[in-house]
Structure 1
Amino acid sequence: MPTDNPLTTLYKEVDGSKISTDVYLPPSDASSPQKYPVVIDIHGGAFMLGHSRMVSIPQVNDCLDRGWIVLVPNHRLCPGVNLLDGPMRDIRDLLAWIHDGHLEQFLKDHGPYQADLENVAAFGTSSGGHLALSLGFNVPIPAKAIFSLYGTVNFSNPLWSKPIPHVAAKLPKDLSLEFLNKIYDEFPIPTDSSVSLEGQTESGVSKGPDFSKARDAFAFTQIAGGMVTSAIYPQSQSIDTKFDLVDPARNVTANFPPTYIVHGQADTMVPIDLSRDFLATLKEAGVRCGMTEVPGEEHTFAAMMEVGSKTWWLQREGFDFLEEIIGRGPKKGRFSS
Structure 2
Amino acid sequence: MALYSNFKWESHVYQSSPRTELDIFAPPSVESSSSAPRRTLIAFHGGGLGSGRRDMWIPDGVAATLLGRGWNVISADYSLLPQSSGILLLRDLAHLEQWIVANAEKLRINTAYIAVGGTSAGLLVAALLSLYGMLDLRSDLYSTAKPTSALSVVEGMTSHEVAVEEFAELLGSSHVLTNDADPFSVGGRMRLLLWANKCGFTFDFLMGRHESQRGIGVERVPEEREAEILPMELVSKMPPSWGIHGDADTFVPVEDSRRFVKELRGAGVVVQYIEIPGAEHELIGLLAD
Bucket of the pairwise TM-score, normalised by the shorter protein: 0.7 to 0.9
Q: Is the 8 A contact 2:50 2:82 kept in 1?
A: yes
The equivalent of 1:194 in structure 2 is 181
Separation of aligned partners in 1, 2:227 and 2:36? 40
2:262 is the counterpart of 1:280: yes
Which residue does 2:124 correspond to in 1? 130
Which of 47, 50, 53 is matched with 1:51 structurally? Answer: 53
**TM-score, normalised relative to structure 1:** 0.70
Once the 2 structures are TM-superposed, how far is the Cα of residue 171 of structure 1 from its aligned partner? Answer: 5.3
Identical residues among aligned pairs (%): 24
Instruction: Work out the number of aligned pairs and report it.
Output: 266
Q: State the alpha-carbon separation in 2 of the partners of residues 41 and 219 from structure 1.
A: 21
Q: Distance in 1 between matches of 2:260 and 2:249?
A: 16
Which residue identity is paired with 1:222? A
1:183 to 159, 170, 177: 170
Amino acid at match of 2:247: Q
- Alpha-carbon RMSD across the aligned residues, in angstroms, is 2.8
- The residue aligned with 2:228 is 245
Which residue does the alignment assign to 1:136?
none
Q: In the TM superposition, what are the counterparts of 1:1-337 in structure 2 within 5 Å? A: 3-4=4-5, 6-14=9-17, 17-28=18-29, 30-31=31-32, 32-54=34-56, 55-82=58-85, 84-99=86-101, 101-105=102-106, 107=107, 114-133=108-127, 146-160=128-142, 161=144, 163=146, 164-167=150-153, 169=158, 172=161, 175-177=163-165, 179-190=166-177, 192-195=179-182, 209-211=184-186, 213-235=187-209, 243-253=226-236, 255-305=237-287, 307=289
Q: Read off the aligned partner of 2:9 and give its amino acid letter.
A: P
**Which structure is richer in relative contact order (CA contacts within 8 A, separation 6 or more)?**
1
Give TM-score scaled by structure 2 length: 0.81
Distance 1:223 1:156, change over 3 A: closer
2:213 aligned partner? none
The unaligned stretches of length 5 or more in structure 2 are 211-219
Partner secondary structure for residue 194 of structure 2: helix
SS state at 1:12 partner: strand
Deviations 1:27-57 (A, max 9, x none): 2353333210111011000000000110243
Residues 124-183 of structure 1 show CA distances to partners (whole Å, capped at 9, x for unaligned) of 1011011111xxxxxxxxxxxx3110111122222333635254746557x454x42322
| Unpaired stretches in structure 1, ≥5 consecutive residues | 108-113, 134-145, 197-208, 308-337
- Distance in 1, Cα, partners of 2:191 & 2:248: 25
**Secondary structure of 1:86's match?**
helix
Say if 1:78 and 1:86, in contact at 8 Å, map to a contact too.
no
